[in-house]
Amino acid sequence: MPFREAMEAKYRDILAKYIEEQKESTLYLAQKFSRKSIENQVTPEEIISLHKMILQEMYPEMPTYVTHSFDLLLEIMLGYGFAYREHQSLRHQQKELRSEIEIAANVQHTLLDTKIPVVDGLDIGAISVPARLMNGDYYNFVQDENQCISIAIADVIGKGIPAALCMSMIKYAMDSLPGYRNEPSVLLENLNHVVEQNVDPSMFVTMFYGIYNHEHHLFSYASAGHEPGFFYDGKKKGFTEITARGLMLGIDKKTKYTQYEKKIEPGDMIILLSDGVTECRTSEGFVEKDTLLTYIDKYLHLSAQEIVNRIYKDLEQLQNFQLRDDFTLIILKRSV
């Protein structure tokens, strides 16, 4: 290693310089030296030994008590060297783990990828951002040949890898139930069976599922304990919470879900979200629902995708760019 070979001469030079005159510029050289030696994996005990050796060379008449004191210091610093090596090895492991998780996140991204449908008269925007590398939220759109668009939004209680693994399963369970796509309550009942049987009892999933009939502008939906979204009334210019009752998926296999319907008029909006949106925490506590609605109101004139993007940016800033939970927000806007 070139640094190691030059290390001795370099250290001798710096030490001699500093003993001669105690200048800040020499101390700066010493700082650069230590950075370089850390880069080259030189351990603390090696530095002590080097220091002692060079000092002995420079001052052969150096008292023996100084020499002995360095032996003691070396023994002490060996312990630090010991901890330092473990730290290095743990850092290396952490890097490996992180790149493994990044790959997993990419795989998840591909698995859960969904395209936002493009239809006349309906403007759809969606955003989903994980708090960590992997997302425990999930949304999915399916557009069928009968002018119906299904929307699913789900949240695994918990975040990170376990939640993400569970979510991949939900997605495939949904894909395997195409026959129930038009019946939100039946779909949730079937998914509930799958989750109840396959997912760890400590894990719960909330889901909101709806189908938008583009011909009659009728929105049918059911909820399995999911964070309530909002309807925006374009005429009254006001928001109402979407009330839909239903137990979370995976709790009781006999759970039945109620299906609701709502006529969507021109200018109306459907706002769906995960609790990462309403549980945005700032130094002053949770972001109030009213705050969220004010934001939506502020951006009403924009396209659905622009609205969700802006709201995410605003709430991200409110929280000092530290997401505490996965964040998913969907807006469907019927054009006037």
* Binding stretches for other proteins (CB under 8 A): 45-46, 49, 52, 71, 74-75, 78-79, 82-87, 89-90, 93
Question: Which backbone phi and psi does 4 adopt, to 5 degrees?
Answer: -60, -35
Pick 31 or 93: Cβ nearer other proteins: 93
Pick 66 or 119: Cβ nearer other proteins: 66
- Least distance (Å) between residue 95 CB and other proteins: 13
- Least distance (Å) between residue 43 CB and other proteins: 8
In 244-259, which positions are buried (b, 16+ CB within 10 angstroms) versus exposed (e)?
Answer: bebbbbbeeeebebeb
Question: Which backbone phi and psi does 328 adopt, to 5 degrees?
Answer: -135, 130
- Least distance (Å) between residue 7 CB and other proteins: 13
Pick 66 or 111: Cβ nearer other proteins: 66
Pick 27 or 72: Cβ nearer other proteins: 72
Q: What is the DSSP letter of 227?
A: P
- Least distance (Å) between residue 53 CB and other proteins: 8
Residue in 127, 108, 109, 205 with CA at minimum distance from that of residue 165: 108
- Least distance (Å) between residue 164 CB and other proteins: 25
Pick 50 or 161: Cβ nearer other proteins: 50
- Least distance (Å) between residue 47 CB and other proteins: 10
Quote the CA–CA distance of 176 and 151 in Å, as a whole number.
16
Pick 47 or 153: Cβ nearer other proteins: 47
3-state class (DSSP) for residue 27 = helix
The contacts found for 43-47 with CB under 8 angstroms, 24 or more apart, are 43/81, 43/84, 43/85, 44/77, 44/78, 44/80, 44/81, 44/84, 45/74, 45/77, 45/78, 45/80, 45/81, 46/81, 47/11, 47/77
Quote the CA–CA distance of 285 and 164 in Å, as a whole number.
27
As a residue count, the chain comes to: 336
- Least distance (Å) between residue 81 CB and other proteins: 8
Pick 8 or 252: Cβ nearer other proteins: 8
DSSP string, 51-95: HHHHHHHH-TT--HHHHHHHHHHHHHHHHHHHHHHHHHHHHHHHH
Pick 4 or 32: Cβ nearer other proteins: 4
Quote the CA–CA distance of 92 and 22 in Å, as a whole number.
38
- Residue pair 326/129 in contact by the 8 Å Cβ criterion: yes
- Least distance (Å) between residue 3 CB and other proteins: 17
Pick 41 or 99: Cβ nearer other proteins: 41
- Least distance (Å) between residue 34 CB and other proteins: 17
Q: Which residues contact 290 (CB under 8 A, 6 or more apart)?
A: none
Q: Which two tokens stand for residue 25?
A: 């510029």
Which residues on neighbouring strands pair with residue 241, listed in sequence order? 230
Residue in 218, 207, 219, 221 with CA at minimum distance from that of residue 258: 221
